[in-house]
Amino acid sequence: MKLTGNTILVTGGGSGIGQGLAWKFHDLGNTVIVAGRRASALADTVAGRDNMHTLELDVADPASVAAALEVLARDYPQLNMLIHSAGIMTHHELGSGGDVDTAAQIIDINLMGTIRVVEGLIPQLEGKEDAVICTVSSGLAFIPLPSTPAYSASKAAVHSYTVSLRHRLKGKAEVIEIAPPAVQTGLTPGQESRQGFMPLPAYLDETMENFAKVPTPQENLVGNVLPLRNADRDGKVEEMLAMFESLGIL
């Protein structure tokens, strides 16, 4: 993938990893559209930045996705790259204070939201020179966190969907999976300063270094996530679960 001269849509671009990647790519001279549900957060993200635009989008609402797709086709025909970062997580779901409805919401946003946006944008992206689709899974796609079974399952499904998508779009678009470790963001309460989690600036720097590699890796994996990604292969699943317990998040 090329790092400059792109027009990029970043969903979940009003906060956290999505916002950070949007700024990183904008700093490189790309035109960036940040999409999300909260107009105020999007406005803060683009404040003082030329060639950075906002788009209200609720990935759980098919009508909102359809409306956003119309805007993108009309106003940004040059769009060639998607970073789909929108997602939610809670530590109060199945077995830890939540219910099946909570699990359904998590899966709808994290998995079906990914599918809605990606499938909707494929006609605009596929076959375009330097077309790139980036999904965002998680280290928990490979070793589930027992206190967040629906979240972990949704990210495992995003990983599986991405593998299929890459095969389907071979020769038509580059498909990259971003699988973060635990990062200090506002994804869950108190996570911004959680001990043992990777600082966001360090995560973003290493992720951008991975994007700059030639060829670009199909999975963008920082060093902190490799123990999770490779745990099953290395026979260290129980070791990773013990690590979760030591962090007090099992």
Q: Which residues are catalytic?
A: 151
134 sits in which H/E element: strand 132-136
Q: Are 183 and 141 in contact (CB under 8 A)?
A: no
Q: Are 59 and 116 in contact (CB under 8 A)?
A: yes
Q: Which two tokens stand for residue 111?
A: 């998995």
Residue 110 Cα to chain centre, angstroms: 9
Q: Which two tokens stand for residue 6?
A: 């792109």
Alpha helices in 79-112 (DSSP H): 100-107
Residue 60 Cα to chain centre, angstroms: 15
Q: Are 55 and 32 in contact (CB under 8 A)?
A: no
25 sits in which H/E element: helix 16-27
Tell which residue, 159, 151, 134, has the closest CA to residue 13.
Answer: 134
